[in-house]
Protein backbone atom coordinates (compact mmCIF):
# COMPACT_ATOMS: atom_id res chain seq x y z
CA UNK A 1 0.00 0.00 0.00
CA UNK A 2 1.27 3.54 -0.69
CA UNK A 3 2.41 5.53 2.33
CA UNK A 4 1.99 9.14 3.42
CA UNK A 5 3.50 11.56 5.89
CA UNK A 6 1.88 14.81 7.00
CA UNK A 7 4.04 17.55 8.56
CA UNK A 8 2.21 20.43 10.23
CA UNK A 9 3.43 23.92 11.01
CA UNK A 10 1.46 26.61 12.80
CA UNK A 11 -1.73 26.85 14.77
CA UNK A 12 -4.44 24.52 16.07
CA UNK A 13 -6.50 25.21 12.93
CA UNK A 14 -3.66 23.79 10.83
CA UNK A 15 -3.37 20.81 13.18
CA UNK A 16 -7.05 20.06 12.75
CA UNK A 17 -6.93 20.44 8.96
CA UNK A 18 -3.95 18.07 8.81
CA UNK A 19 -6.03 15.45 10.60
CA UNK A 20 -8.73 15.89 7.98
CA UNK A 21 -6.13 15.40 5.23
CA UNK A 22 -4.85 12.26 6.95
CA UNK A 23 -8.33 10.82 7.07
CA UNK A 24 -8.81 11.62 3.39
CA UNK A 25 -5.52 9.90 2.49
CA UNK A 26 -6.48 6.79 4.45
CA UNK A 27 -9.71 6.71 2.50
CA UNK A 28 -7.64 6.76 -0.68
CA UNK A 29 -5.75 3.66 0.47
CA UNK A 30 -2.64 5.27 1.93
CA UNK A 31 -1.07 4.22 5.22
CA UNK A 32 0.82 6.56 7.60
CA UNK A 33 4.58 6.48 8.09
CA UNK A 34 7.21 8.68 9.72
CA UNK A 35 9.77 7.77 7.08
CA UNK A 36 11.27 10.50 4.91
CA UNK A 37 10.75 8.09 2.01
CA UNK A 38 6.96 8.15 2.20
CA UNK A 39 5.27 7.91 -1.18
CA UNK A 40 3.66 11.29 -0.59
CA UNK A 41 4.64 14.01 1.89
CA UNK A 42 2.08 16.71 2.70
CA UNK A 43 3.48 19.86 4.32
CA UNK A 44 0.78 22.00 5.92
CA UNK A 45 2.52 25.36 5.80
CA UNK A 46 2.30 28.51 7.91
CA UNK A 47 2.85 32.15 6.97
CA UNK A 48 1.84 34.06 10.11
CA UNK A 49 5.44 35.23 10.67
CA UNK A 50 8.47 35.52 8.41
CA UNK A 51 10.13 32.77 10.47
CA UNK A 52 7.19 30.41 9.90
CA UNK A 53 7.25 31.15 6.17
CA UNK A 54 11.00 30.47 6.03
CA UNK A 55 10.55 27.18 7.91
CA UNK A 56 7.82 26.18 5.46
CA UNK A 57 10.11 26.88 2.48
CA UNK A 58 13.04 25.01 4.03
CA UNK A 59 10.93 21.92 4.73
CA UNK A 60 9.61 21.90 1.19
CA UNK A 61 13.12 22.26 -0.25
CA UNK A 62 14.30 19.31 1.79
CA UNK A 63 11.58 16.98 0.62
CA UNK A 64 11.48 18.31 -2.95
CA UNK A 65 15.00 17.02 -3.60
CA UNK A 66 13.72 13.49 -4.11
CA UNK A 67 13.78 12.53 -7.80
CA UNK A 68 10.49 12.01 -9.60
CA UNK A 69 9.90 10.25 -12.91
CA UNK A 70 8.07 12.23 -15.61
CA UNK A 71 4.34 11.67 -15.36
CA UNK A 72 4.45 10.42 -11.76
CA UNK A 73 2.25 12.16 -9.18
CA UNK A 74 4.12 14.68 -7.01
CA UNK A 75 5.63 13.16 -3.89
CA UNK A 76 5.68 16.46 -1.99
CA UNK A 77 2.59 18.67 -1.79
CA UNK A 78 2.23 22.01 -0.03
CA UNK A 79 -1.05 23.09 1.54
CA UNK A 80 -1.97 25.80 4.02
CA UNK A 81 -1.18 29.47 4.45
CA UNK A 82 2.28 29.77 2.87
CA UNK A 83 1.10 27.70 -0.08
CA UNK A 84 -1.65 30.30 -0.45
CA UNK A 85 0.54 33.37 0.05
CA UNK A 86 3.38 32.40 -2.34
CA UNK A 87 2.12 29.97 -4.96
CA UNK A 88 4.82 31.08 -7.42
CA UNK A 89 7.64 30.09 -5.07
CA UNK A 90 5.85 26.87 -4.17
CA UNK A 91 5.62 25.99 -7.87
CA UNK A 92 9.35 26.69 -8.29
CA UNK A 93 10.14 24.32 -5.43
CA UNK A 94 7.67 21.53 -6.15
CA UNK A 95 6.49 21.88 -9.73
CA UNK A 96 3.22 23.08 -11.17
CA UNK A 97 -0.01 22.19 -9.33
CA UNK A 98 1.81 20.73 -6.32
CA UNK A 99 0.51 23.48 -4.02
CA UNK A 100 -3.11 23.74 -2.93
CA UNK A 101 -4.06 27.02 -1.31
CA UNK A 102 -7.08 27.86 0.77
CA UNK A 103 -9.07 28.73 -2.33
CA UNK A 104 -8.84 25.11 -3.45
CA UNK A 105 -11.04 22.26 -2.29
CA UNK A 106 -8.67 19.68 -0.86
CA UNK A 107 -11.16 16.82 -0.93
CA UNK A 108 -11.33 17.15 -4.73
CA UNK A 109 -7.90 18.46 -5.70
CA UNK A 110 -5.73 16.21 -3.56
CA UNK A 111 -7.11 12.88 -4.92
CA UNK A 112 -6.81 14.22 -8.48
CA UNK A 113 -3.23 15.35 -7.84
CA UNK A 114 -2.33 11.89 -6.54
CA UNK A 115 -3.86 10.20 -9.57
CA UNK A 116 -6.81 8.68 -7.72
CA UNK A 117 -9.52 8.12 -10.33
CA UNK A 118 -12.00 6.16 -8.25
CA UNK A 119 -12.61 6.52 -4.55
CA UNK A 120 -15.50 6.74 -2.14
CA UNK A 121 -15.18 9.98 -0.15
CA UNK A 122 -15.96 9.92 3.52
CA UNK A 123 -18.84 11.93 4.87
CA UNK A 124 -17.88 15.52 4.18
CA UNK A 125 -18.17 18.69 6.15
CA UNK A 126 -20.88 20.92 4.70
CA UNK A 127 -18.52 23.85 5.09
CA UNK A 128 -15.34 22.89 3.27
CA UNK A 129 -15.88 19.50 1.62
CA UNK A 130 -13.37 17.82 3.91
CA UNK A 131 -13.97 14.67 5.96
CA UNK A 132 -15.71 14.80 9.30
CA UNK A 133 -13.25 13.27 11.74
CA UNK A 134 -14.20 9.90 13.20
CA UNK A 135 -10.86 8.56 14.47
CA UNK A 136 -8.89 9.26 17.61
CA UNK A 137 -6.48 12.16 17.32
CA UNK A 138 -3.09 10.60 18.04
CA UNK A 139 -0.90 13.46 19.20
CA UNK A 140 -2.34 14.19 22.64
CA UNK A 141 -5.34 13.49 24.81
CA UNK A 142 -7.16 16.71 23.97
CA UNK A 143 -9.08 16.63 20.70
CA UNK A 144 -9.07 19.74 18.50
CA UNK A 145 -12.42 20.62 16.93
CA UNK A 146 -12.43 23.38 14.33
CA UNK A 147 -15.75 25.18 14.15
CA UNK A 148 -14.94 28.40 12.24
CA UNK A 149 -12.66 29.78 9.53
CA UNK A 150 -11.82 33.16 8.08
CA UNK A 151 -11.23 36.69 9.35
CA UNK A 152 -12.00 40.18 8.03
CA UNK A 153 -10.79 42.19 11.05
CA UNK A 154 -7.58 43.32 9.31
CA UNK A 155 -5.25 43.96 12.22
CA UNK A 156 -2.42 45.98 10.71
CA UNK A 157 0.24 43.31 11.41
CA UNK A 158 -1.74 40.24 10.29
CA UNK A 159 -1.63 38.55 6.87
CA UNK A 160 -4.38 36.02 7.67
CA UNK A 161 -7.34 38.07 6.32
CA UNK A 162 -5.63 37.98 2.91
CA UNK A 163 -5.13 34.23 3.10
CA UNK A 164 -8.41 33.19 4.73
CA UNK A 165 -10.76 36.04 3.78
CA UNK A 166 -14.00 34.04 3.61
CA UNK A 167 -15.79 33.61 6.92
CA UNK A 168 -17.78 30.45 7.47
CA UNK A 169 -19.01 28.45 10.44
CA UNK A 170 -19.83 24.78 10.67
CA UNK A 171 -23.48 23.95 11.32
CA UNK A 172 -24.19 23.23 14.96
CA UNK A 173 -25.50 19.74 14.27
CA UNK A 174 -22.29 18.87 12.42
CA UNK A 175 -20.14 20.08 15.31
CA UNK A 176 -22.19 18.03 17.78
CA UNK A 177 -21.87 14.92 15.59
CA UNK A 178 -18.10 15.27 15.34
CA UNK A 179 -17.78 15.91 19.08
CA UNK A 180 -19.65 12.67 19.72
CA UNK A 181 -17.24 10.89 17.37
CA UNK A 182 -14.30 12.28 19.33
CA UNK A 183 -15.67 11.19 22.69
CA UNK A 184 -16.53 7.75 21.30
CA UNK A 185 -12.95 7.47 20.04
CA UNK A 186 -11.68 8.00 23.60
CA UNK A 187 -11.17 11.75 24.01
CA UNK A 188 -12.51 13.25 27.24
CA UNK A 189 -11.47 16.83 26.47
CA UNK A 190 -12.27 18.91 23.38
CA UNK A 191 -10.71 22.24 22.40
CA UNK A 192 -12.86 24.43 20.17
CA UNK A 193 -10.80 26.37 17.67
CA UNK A 194 -11.14 28.67 14.69
CA UNK A 195 -9.33 31.46 12.89
CA UNK A 196 -11.51 33.94 14.82
CA UNK A 197 -13.44 31.79 17.27
CA UNK A 198 -15.70 34.60 18.46
CA UNK A 199 -17.05 35.01 14.93
CA UNK A 200 -18.70 31.59 15.04
CA UNK A 201 -22.15 31.89 13.46
CA UNK A 202 -21.45 35.46 12.35
CA UNK A 203 -20.89 36.89 8.89
CA UNK A 204 -18.04 39.06 10.08
CA UNK A 205 -15.34 39.20 12.74
CA UNK A 206 -15.99 42.91 13.23
CA UNK A 207 -17.86 43.17 16.52
CA UNK A 208 -19.52 46.48 15.61
CA UNK A 209 -21.25 44.78 12.67
CA UNK A 210 -22.32 41.61 14.46
CA UNK A 211 -25.86 40.97 15.55
CA UNK A 212 -26.01 39.46 19.04
CA UNK A 213 -22.23 38.92 19.48
CA UNK A 214 -21.36 35.50 20.93
CA UNK A 215 -24.98 34.31 20.87
CA UNK A 216 -24.19 31.50 18.42
CA UNK A 217 -21.11 30.21 20.20
CA UNK A 218 -22.94 30.39 23.53
CA UNK A 219 -25.69 28.24 22.02
CA UNK A 220 -23.13 25.78 20.66
CA UNK A 221 -21.39 25.44 24.03
CA UNK A 222 -24.71 24.74 25.72
CA UNK A 223 -25.51 21.99 23.19
CA UNK A 224 -22.08 20.43 23.49
CA UNK A 225 -22.32 20.29 27.27
CA UNK A 226 -25.85 18.87 27.29
CA UNK A 227 -25.85 16.66 24.17
CA UNK A 228 -22.45 14.93 24.15
CA UNK A 229 -22.38 12.18 26.80
CA UNK A 230 -18.89 11.47 28.08
CA UNK A 231 -17.50 14.93 27.41
CA UNK A 232 -15.58 15.75 30.59
CA UNK A 233 -13.82 18.95 29.57
CA UNK A 234 -14.43 21.74 27.10
CA UNK A 235 -11.83 24.40 26.38
CA UNK A 236 -11.94 27.44 24.07
CA UNK A 237 -8.83 28.29 22.06
CA UNK A 238 -9.16 32.10 22.15
CA UNK A 239 -11.46 34.98 23.10
CA UNK A 240 -11.29 38.77 22.79
CA UNK A 241 -13.14 41.43 24.83
CA UNK A 242 -15.85 41.78 22.20
CA UNK A 243 -16.46 38.03 22.36
CA UNK A 244 -16.63 37.78 26.15
CA UNK A 245 -20.16 39.13 26.50
CA UNK A 246 -22.12 38.69 29.76
CA UNK A 247 -24.25 36.08 27.97
CA UNK A 248 -21.21 34.03 26.95
CA UNK A 249 -19.55 34.27 30.37
CA UNK A 250 -22.79 33.18 32.05
CA UNK A 251 -23.03 30.22 29.67
CA UNK A 252 -19.42 29.22 30.33
CA UNK A 253 -19.83 29.31 34.12
CA UNK A 254 -23.07 27.31 33.94
CA UNK A 255 -21.49 24.03 32.82
CA UNK A 256 -18.90 22.04 34.80
CA UNK A 257 -17.33 20.78 31.58
CA UNK A 258 -16.01 24.28 30.82
CA UNK A 259 -12.60 24.53 32.45
CA UNK A 260 -11.40 27.72 34.22
CA UNK A 261 -8.73 28.45 31.63
CA UNK A 262 -9.01 31.15 28.97
CA UNK A 263 -6.60 32.24 26.27
CA UNK A 264 -7.12 35.99 25.88
CA UNK A 265 -4.74 37.54 23.31
CA UNK A 266 -3.44 40.91 24.49
CA UNK A 267 -0.83 41.80 21.82
CA UNK A 268 -0.05 45.05 23.67
CA UNK A 269 -1.05 46.78 26.88
CA UNK A 270 -0.57 50.22 25.31
CA UNK A 271 -3.67 52.11 24.22
CA UNK A 272 -1.67 53.82 21.44
CA UNK A 273 -0.21 50.58 20.08
CA UNK A 274 -3.58 48.80 20.20
CA UNK A 275 -5.00 51.59 18.02
CA UNK A 276 -2.10 51.29 15.58
CA UNK A 277 -2.66 47.54 15.48
CA UNK A 278 -6.33 48.14 14.64
CA UNK A 279 -7.37 45.84 17.45
CA UNK A 280 -11.07 45.94 18.33
CA UNK A 281 -10.56 46.79 21.99
CA UNK A 282 -8.80 49.26 24.24
CA UNK A 283 -6.58 48.53 27.24
CA UNK A 284 -9.55 49.39 29.47
CA UNK A 285 -11.74 46.91 27.57
CA UNK A 286 -9.16 44.21 28.20
CA UNK A 287 -9.02 44.98 31.93
CA UNK A 288 -12.81 44.77 32.16
CA UNK A 289 -12.74 41.36 30.48
CA UNK A 290 -10.19 40.15 33.02
CA UNK A 291 -12.33 41.48 35.88
CA UNK A 292 -15.50 39.84 34.53
CA UNK A 293 -13.87 36.44 34.06
CA UNK A 294 -12.31 36.57 37.53
CA UNK A 295 -15.71 37.41 39.01
CA UNK A 296 -17.28 34.40 37.29
CA UNK A 297 -14.60 31.75 37.96
CA UNK A 298 -12.47 30.67 40.88
CA UNK A 299 -8.85 31.68 40.20
CA UNK A 300 -9.08 31.25 36.42
CA UNK A 301 -5.89 30.59 34.50
CA UNK A 302 -5.34 33.19 31.80
CA UNK A 303 -2.81 32.79 28.99
CA UNK A 304 -2.07 35.33 26.30
CA UNK A 305 -0.15 36.40 23.19
CA UNK A 306 2.01 39.53 23.03
CA UNK A 307 3.80 41.13 20.07
CA UNK A 308 7.07 42.75 21.12
CA UNK A 309 8.63 45.56 19.09
CA UNK A 310 5.62 46.65 17.07
CA UNK A 311 6.57 49.68 14.90
CA UNK A 312 6.71 52.78 17.06
CA UNK A 313 6.61 50.90 20.40
CA UNK A 314 8.24 53.14 23.02
CA UNK A 315 9.60 52.22 26.42
CA UNK A 316 6.35 53.58 27.87
CA UNK A 317 4.28 51.39 25.54
CA UNK A 318 6.23 48.30 26.57
CA UNK A 319 5.90 49.27 30.25
CA UNK A 320 2.11 49.37 29.73
CA UNK A 321 2.29 45.79 28.47
CA UNK A 322 4.23 44.56 31.49
CA UNK A 323 1.85 46.45 33.77
CA UNK A 324 -1.11 44.72 32.12
CA UNK A 325 0.61 41.36 32.48
CA UNK A 326 0.94 41.90 36.21
CA UNK A 327 -2.68 43.04 36.45
CA UNK A 328 -3.93 39.95 34.61
CA UNK A 329 -1.56 37.62 36.52
CA UNK A 330 -1.04 35.52 33.42
CA UNK A 331 -0.21 31.85 33.76
CA UNK A 332 1.78 32.09 30.53
CA UNK A 333 2.73 34.81 28.07
CA UNK A 334 3.42 33.66 24.52
CA UNK A 335 5.64 36.53 23.40
CA UNK A 336 7.05 36.85 19.91
CA UNK A 337 8.86 39.65 18.10
CA UNK A 338 7.05 41.73 15.52
CA UNK A 339 7.43 40.16 12.08
CA UNK A 340 6.65 42.37 9.07
CA UNK A 341 4.45 40.54 6.55
CA UNK A 342 4.38 41.88 3.02
CA UNK A 343 0.91 43.12 2.17
CA UNK A 344 0.07 44.37 5.66
CA UNK A 345 -0.06 48.00 6.74
CA UNK A 346 2.51 47.59 9.52
CA UNK A 347 5.11 46.24 7.10
CA UNK A 348 5.18 49.64 5.39
CA UNK A 349 6.13 51.53 8.57
CA UNK A 350 9.83 50.94 8.04
CA UNK A 351 10.97 54.18 9.67
CA UNK A 352 9.27 53.13 12.91
CA UNK A 353 10.85 49.68 13.14
CA UNK A 354 12.41 48.93 16.53
CA UNK A 355 16.13 47.99 16.61
CA UNK A 356 16.73 44.28 17.11
CA UNK A 357 18.80 44.91 20.23
CA UNK A 358 15.85 46.60 21.94
CA UNK A 359 13.41 43.91 20.80
CA UNK A 360 15.67 41.21 22.25
CA UNK A 361 15.94 43.06 25.57
CA UNK A 362 12.17 43.43 25.80
CA UNK A 363 11.61 39.79 24.86
CA UNK A 364 13.95 38.72 27.66
CA UNK A 365 12.22 41.00 30.17
CA UNK A 366 8.80 39.66 29.20
CA UNK A 367 9.99 36.05 29.42
CA UNK A 368 11.33 36.66 32.92
CA UNK A 369 8.06 38.27 33.93
CA UNK A 370 6.08 35.38 32.43
CA UNK A 371 8.13 32.88 34.45
CA UNK A 372 7.62 34.95 37.61
CA UNK A 373 3.85 35.19 37.11
CA UNK A 374 3.59 31.48 36.29
CA UNK A 375 5.32 30.54 39.53
CA UNK A 376 3.06 32.89 41.51
CA UNK A 377 -0.09 31.48 39.94
CA UNK A 378 0.83 27.82 40.39
CA UNK A 379 1.99 28.39 43.97
CA UNK A 380 -1.63 29.18 44.97
CA UNK A 381 -2.52 25.53 44.60
CA UNK A 382 0.15 23.88 46.75
CA UNK A 383 -1.64 21.54 49.13
CA UNK A 384 -4.79 21.44 46.99
CA UNK A 385 -5.98 18.63 44.75
CA UNK A 386 -6.43 19.11 41.02
CA UNK A 387 -7.79 16.97 38.22
CA UNK A 388 -5.35 15.86 35.52
CA UNK A 389 -5.90 14.41 32.08
CA UNK A 390 -2.78 12.26 31.81
CA UNK A 391 -0.70 12.65 28.66
CA UNK A 392 1.55 10.13 26.96
CA UNK A 393 5.00 10.14 28.63
CA UNK A 394 6.69 11.27 25.41
CA UNK A 395 4.10 13.88 24.49
CA UNK A 396 5.71 16.90 22.82
CA UNK A 397 3.05 18.97 24.58
CA UNK A 398 5.21 19.07 27.72
CA UNK A 399 8.98 19.10 27.09
CA UNK A 400 10.78 16.55 29.20
CA UNK A 401 14.35 16.25 30.42
CA UNK A 402 16.00 12.85 30.64
CA UNK A 403 15.65 12.87 34.43
CA UNK A 404 11.89 13.17 34.17
CA UNK A 405 11.53 10.33 31.68
CA UNK A 406 12.34 7.77 34.34
CA UNK A 407 9.94 4.89 34.81
CA UNK A 408 6.86 5.80 36.78
CA UNK A 409 6.90 9.57 36.28
CA UNK A 410 3.87 10.82 34.38
CA UNK A 411 2.29 14.16 33.69
CA UNK A 412 -1.03 15.68 32.73
CA UNK A 413 -2.78 19.00 32.25
CA UNK A 414 -5.01 20.19 35.05
CA UNK A 415 -8.24 22.16 34.65
CA UNK A 416 -6.24 25.39 34.73
CA UNK A 417 -3.96 24.13 31.95
CA UNK A 418 -0.60 23.92 33.71
CA UNK A 419 1.16 20.57 33.66
CA UNK A 420 1.66 18.52 36.84
CA UNK A 421 4.15 15.65 37.24
CA UNK A 422 3.49 12.71 39.55
CA UNK A 423 4.64 9.13 40.13
CA UNK A 424 2.52 6.07 39.48
CA UNK A 425 3.47 2.40 38.97
CA UNK A 426 0.53 2.05 36.56
CA UNK A 427 0.32 3.73 33.17
CA UNK A 428 -2.55 6.20 33.44
CA UNK A 429 -2.31 7.73 29.96
CA UNK A 430 -5.68 9.06 28.87
CA UNK A 431 -7.20 8.79 32.36
CA UNK A 432 -8.63 11.51 34.57
CA UNK A 433 -6.92 11.36 37.97
CA UNK A 434 -6.73 13.50 41.10
CA UNK A 435 -3.35 14.70 42.29
CA UNK A 436 -2.37 16.80 45.30
CA UNK A 437 0.13 19.51 44.42
CA UNK A 438 3.16 19.16 46.71
CA UNK A 439 5.60 21.74 45.39
CA UNK A 440 6.30 24.09 42.53
CA UNK A 441 9.53 25.32 40.98
CA UNK A 442 10.23 27.75 38.19
CA UNK A 443 9.93 24.92 35.65
CA UNK A 444 7.86 22.20 37.32
CA UNK A 445 4.72 21.51 39.29
CA UNK A 446 4.98 18.25 41.23
CA UNK A 447 2.13 16.34 42.83
CA UNK A 448 1.21 13.01 44.41
CA UNK A 449 -1.46 10.71 43.08
CA UNK A 450 -4.63 10.55 45.18
CA UNK A 451 -7.22 8.58 43.21
CA UNK A 452 -8.97 8.41 39.87
CA UNK A 453 -10.91 11.61 39.30
CA UNK A 454 -14.61 11.92 38.55
CA UNK A 455 -15.89 9.92 35.67
CA UNK A 456 -16.76 11.65 32.45
CA UNK A 457 -20.22 13.22 32.63
Q: What is the pLDDT of residues 278-326, one digit of tens each?
A: 999 999 999 999 999 999 999 999 999 999 999 999 999 999 999 999 9
CA distances to 73, 108, 260, 322, 338 from 112, in Å: 9, 7, 45, 51, 39
Q: Tell me if 262 sits within 8 A of 169, measured CB to CB.
A: no
Which of the pair, 394 or 277, is modelled with greater confidence?
Answer: 277
**Is the CATH code 2.40.110.10 the one for domain 385-452?**
no
- pLDDT at position 196 is 97
With pLDDT > 70 as the criterion, what percentage of the chain qualifies?
91
Q: What is the pLDDT of residues 172-189, one digit of tens each?
A: 999 999 999 999 999 999
Task: Map residue 441 onto helix, strand or coil.
Answer: coil
Q: What is the pLDDT of residues 44-83, one digit of tens each?
A: 999 999 999 999 999 999 888 776 666 666 788 999 999 9
- pLDDT at position 375 is 98
Residues of each domain in the chain carrying CATH 2.40.50.140: 385-452
**Is the CATH code 3.40.50.12160 the one for domain 3-113?**
yes
* pTM score, whole prediction: 0.92
- pLDDT at position 129 is 54
Q: What is the pLDDT of residues 322-369, one digit of tens each?
A: 999 999 999 999 999 999 999 999 999 999 999 999 999 999 999 999
Q: Please state which CATH number belongs to domain 133-259.
A: 3.30.750.210
Residues of each domain in the chain carrying CATH 3.40.50.12160: 3-113
Residues of each domain in the chain carrying CATH 3.30.750.200: 260-380
Q: Which of 251, 227, 230 is nearest to 239 (CA)?
A: 251
Quick check: 31 pLDDT over 70?
A: yes
The pLDDT-based confidence of 402 (bands split at 50, 70, 90) is very low
Q: Please state which CATH number belongs to domain 260-380.
A: 3.30.750.200
Distance CA 416, CA 388 (A): 10
Q: Exposed, middle or buried: residue 168 (CB in 10 Å: 0-12, 13-18, 19+)? A: middle
CA 360, distance to chain mean position in Å, is 25
- pLDDT at position 455 is 52
With pLDDT > 90 as the criterion, what percentage of the chain qualifies?
75
Amino acid sequence: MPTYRVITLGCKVNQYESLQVEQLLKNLGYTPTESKDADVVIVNTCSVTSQAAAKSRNLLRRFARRPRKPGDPPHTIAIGCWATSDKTKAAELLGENAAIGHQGILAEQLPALLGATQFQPLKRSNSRSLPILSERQPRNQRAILKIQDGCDAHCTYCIIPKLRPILWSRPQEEVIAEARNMVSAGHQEIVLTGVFLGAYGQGTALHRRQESPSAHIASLIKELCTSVPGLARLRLSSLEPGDATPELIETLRSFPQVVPHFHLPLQSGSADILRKMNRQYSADDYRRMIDNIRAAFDRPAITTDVIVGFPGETDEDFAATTEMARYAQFLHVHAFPFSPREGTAAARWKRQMIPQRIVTERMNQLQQLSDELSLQFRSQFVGESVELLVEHPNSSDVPESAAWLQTGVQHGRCERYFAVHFESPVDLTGKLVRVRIERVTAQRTVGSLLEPARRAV
